[in-house]
Structure 1
Amino acid sequence: MTQTELRSPETKAAEGAPSSLEVVTAFDDFMRAFDAFKEVNDERLAEIEARLTPDVVTVEKLARLDDALDRQQKVLADLTLKGRRPALETAGTRETAAPREHKAAFEAYVRRGEVSTLKSLESKALASVTDSQGGYLVPEATEREIGRRLAEVSPIRAIASVQQVTAAVYRKPFATEGFASGWAAETGARAQSATPVLDELAFPAMELFAMPAATQTLLDDSAVDLDRWIAEEVETAFAEQESAAFVTGDGTTRPQGFLTPAKVANAAWVWGKIGYVATGAAGAFAASNPSDSLLDLVYALRSGYRRNASFVMNRRVQAAVRKLKDADGRYLWEPPASADSSATLIGFPVVEAEAAPDIADGAHAISFGDFRRGYLVVDRIGVRILRDPFTAKPYVLFYTTKRVGGGVQDFDAIKTLKFATS
């Protein structure tokens, strides 16, 4: 994990919730960009039909429109995200005396480095970690704010199951052979059922860190909302690291990603592996009927999982599937129906995860499944901060840590599209 780049909060502009006009304008711009994209792509396809190769000018124009569409989609997503962020709770809303006391003690520690009151509070709460060992717990309101923000900006966390734990490892039992069941008449004999074979999945919580920086001048300014500043500073750093780990993490120093388990052709699928469908062409969609492999991927998933399924891919792969049509000439990729909804592919939501691989020979570049049932994110309760005024003078660093785990919990709930002949 690389150290988060230090940024002074004075350089960040105040960001308020976007107006409804901004969101509507961004959505209109996005739809106009998509209409222009479809028009040029139709022109490219007509040129291929007429002379087997598109005009270079048309290809370049389509690439520019594709980039513009990506930019407009990002603007729309950012505006929608800002509008959904809840405000931090204030002292008079839902806090009791104890949380207010913790918040005041924590603010004194962050602003001036005072630790006596915070040590006393954590001693009363039987917290064993001291300042020299690992920092102090942030107030509950700040921790909840960080969690809410991560749920919005971390793409896999937003569609996966999330379990809070207090232990270092979360263990989940499962039956490897299922439980015996059957039908019988009211007075008929019942055959003795076999004893189910149980096993367990272990999800250890790994340490995730960020290191925002502030000047002492800013910390002395009582008008600065430190809770909001901390949440905003660690949001992006945590989300970027989580997003990569939940997709391709090795499970050693970070969570195990859903693409990390061994892959096997879906016809030979067994528990503990991820089933895949091949496109039939090395590093590409098939030359004829390219959309068929996407339909095969959808129906490789059992019906019980398809109801809440999503596609996961990065933006470059999404740019490739935007060009695909079905047998009736309709685009498989559709823009979001409203500003706060997702684009769809064959009627299923598309989740953009930059850590997903690009299209290449043998790459599992598109995933499809019910990630709520298929992938589990484990959050160990407690976010800690260690104040460091010495390492990067004149900045004060805040070494912020939380423990996160993750891994596949149902190997039948996620399938991938492999860009290969088999």
Structure 2
Amino acid sequence: MTLVQHTHIELKEADPVEPDQIVTKALADFQQAVEDRLKAVEAKSADNAALVGRLDKIEAKVSRPFVANAPSIVTPDENVERKAFVNYLRSGRVEEKTLAYAPPSTGGILAPDQTAKTIIERIAEFSPVRGFASTISMSGPLLQLPRLVNEVQVGEVGETDDRPESEPSFEQIDLKPFEMAVIVPVTRVLLEDSQIDLEAYIAAHVARRFGQKEAGWFVKGNGTTQAEGVMNSDEIGTVEAGTDAVTATDIIDTFYAIASGYSSTGSWLMNRSTMAAVRKLTDAQGSYLWQASIAAGTPPTLMGRPVYEAVDMDGPDAGKSPIIFGDFASGYLIGDRVGISTLRDEYTGASNGIVKFHVRRRVGGRVVLGEALTKLTLKA
């Protein structure tokens, strides 16, 4: 028998670990894992929030209503020019590289193109004739326009007959601009308040005053120191009323006094008193000639054509001409002499804390096609 000797191996246990340490470590590892997971989720949420914000901005821009004639993009040059203009209004300091001077004799500053356009658009809200007449920009003190006098005459001919000759003839008419101006007083406190949109304030004030002046010129201007008014032109036709008051017959006669090509696109112009009188008129069947507006922002109609109020028109009194009708776009031309000049006056109102802005512009107007318009004159 063989004896096998076994070597005795002693196993030594590791250092004992307390149970509470095991639990504490496990909890710490779990907490760290949770925190790491939360950070990852928050990072994704932040990215999503930024994306949502960008989408909201895009949607807001797309949803904005379209404004006719409004610039879709404001270029950096326009921004610089507008900022320089507002800085001039507030401080009187001029950036020669940015702002354009008016003629040397005036010493003024020309308003930026966008500001000038805004003012002219707002003027149309106060001057109804500008709203539907034709307009043109003038670059000089006089605009000469050719006007057709005699049209080409067409004759009937046989197969071998001689063809008649016919040549149109023209005359030349002149359109001159006349100056209008307004003083806009602003307190120094208002100028110093950076929260005030000074450019908008000036534009609104100027548009209101220029619009009121224009409305008078385009209706009753004398044509010598003012634009020629439609009611003072000898070229437009006249319908003589049978009585000293407006009747339904007068309205019908006035409507049909001009060619259908003009009446189909024509507009009525009268003051508020005349509107009240005309609104009561009825035809033989008792139906009112006047039709109220069918939607907000649209004018009422008379004989199917729009009616506009002009405060400078005569009232429905004996011997007066209270109504004019026709195609103003064909019959009346407004000439805008480009440039709205602003001069800052810090001295004449200094004792009262007032800074005055002298704003001027030049505009002309005249009847260019009398056959497109006609007026109603009441019996004296």
Larger Rg: 2
Q: In structure 1, which of residues 397, 400, 418 is the aligned counterpart of residue 356 of structure 2?
A: 397
Cα-to-partner distance string for 1:184-206 (whole Å, 9 max, x where unaligned)? 55654212224x33211211111
Match of 1:114 in 2: 93
* Equivalent AA in structure 2 for residue 276 of structure 1: T
Cα-to-partner distance string for 1:139-198 (whole Å, 9 max, x where unaligned)? 11211111211223311110111111211222211122223444555654212224x332
Q: Relative to structure 1, is the Cα distance of residues 128 and 392 closer, same or farther in structure 2, using a 3 angstrom cutoff?
A: closer
Q: In structure 1, which of residues 337, 352, 356 is the aligned counterpart of residue 294 of structure 2?
A: 337
Say yes or no: does 1:206 pair with 2:206. Answer: no
* Alpha-carbon contact 2:102-2:108 (below 8 Å) kept: no
Listed as ranges, the matches of 1:10-409 within 5 Å are 94-115=73-94, 117=95, 119-121=96-98, 129-130=103-104, 133-184=106-157, 188-194=161-167, 196-262=168-234, 273-281=235-243, 283-285=244-246, 290-393=247-350, 394-409=353-368
> Where has structure 1 moved over 6 Å in runs of 4 or more?
83-89
Runs of 5+ unmatched residues, structure 2: 1-64
In the alignment, the residues of structure 2 paired with residue 296 and residue 88 of structure 1 have an alpha-carbon distance, to the nearest angstrom, of 41
Q: Relative to structure 1, is the Cα distance of residues 392 and 179 closer, same or farther in structure 2, using a 3 angstrom cutoff?
A: farther
* Equivalent AA in structure 2 for residue 153 of structure 1: F
* Equivalent AA in structure 2 for residue 106 of structure 1: F
Runs of 5+ unmatched residues, structure 1: 1-82, 263-272
Cα-to-partner distance string for 1:51-71 (whole Å, 9 max, x where unaligned)? xxxxxxxxxxxxxxxxxxxxx
* Alpha-carbon contact 1:85-1:149 (below 8 Å) kept: no
Secondary structure of 2:179's counterpart equals strand
* Alpha-carbon contact 2:155-2:164 (below 8 Å) kept: no
How far off is 1:105 after superposition?
A: 2.2
* Alpha-carbon contact 1:88-1:145 (below 8 Å) kept: no
How far off is 1:359 after superposition?
A: 1.8
In the alignment, the residues of structure 2 paired with residue 218 and residue 86 of structure 1 have an alpha-carbon distance, to the nearest angstrom, of 31
* Equivalent AA in structure 1 for residue 228 of structure 2: Q
How far off is 1:410 after superposition?
A: 0.5
In the alignment, the residues of structure 1 paired with residue 283 and residue 156 of structure 2 have an alpha-carbon distance, to the nearest angstrom, of 44
In the alignment, the residues of structure 2 paired with residue 391 and residue 180 of structure 1 have an alpha-carbon distance, to the nearest angstrom, of 65
Aligned length: 314
Cα-to-partner distance string for 1:357-390 (whole Å, 9 max, x where unaligned)? 1122221111111111111111111111000111
In the alignment, the residues of structure 2 paired with residue 87 and residue 169 of structure 1 have an alpha-carbon distance, to the nearest angstrom, of 27
In the alignment, the residues of structure 1 paired with residue 254 and residue 93 of structure 2 have an alpha-carbon distance, to the nearest angstrom, of 57
Compute the TM-score of the two structures, normalised by the length of structure 1. Answer: 0.70
Q: Relative to structure 1, is the Cα distance of residues 167 and 308 closer, same or farther in structure 2, using a 3 angstrom cutoff?
A: same
Secondary structure of 1:300's counterpart equals coil
In the alignment, the residues of structure 1 paired with residue 67 and residue 185 of structure 2 have an alpha-carbon distance, to the nearest angstrom, of 23
* Equivalent AA in structure 2 for residue 278 of structure 1: E
How far off is 1:230 after superposition?
A: 1.3
**Percent identity over paired residues:** 35
Match of 1:75 in 2: none
How far off is 1:346 after superposition?
A: 2.1
Secondary structure of 2:322's counterpart equals strand
* Equivalent AA in structure 2 for residue 97 of structure 1: P
Match of 2:39 in 1: none
In the alignment, the residues of structure 2 paired with residue 181 and residue 243 of structure 1 have an alpha-carbon distance, to the nearest angstrom, of 42
Q: Relative to structure 1, is the Cα distance of residues 234 and 206 closer, same or farther in structure 2, using a 3 angstrom cutoff?
A: same
Secondary structure of 1:240's counterpart equals helix
How far off is 1:208 after superposition?
A: 1.4
* Alpha-carbon contact 1:205-1:379 (below 8 Å) kept: yes
How far off is 1:99 after superposition?
A: 2.5
* Alpha-carbon contact 1:324-1:331 (below 8 Å) kept: yes
Q: CA RMSD in A?
A: 2.2
How far off is 1:310 after superposition?
A: 1.1
Q: Relative to structure 1, is the Cα distance of residues 363 and 99 closer, same or farther in structure 2, using a 3 angstrom cutoff?
A: same
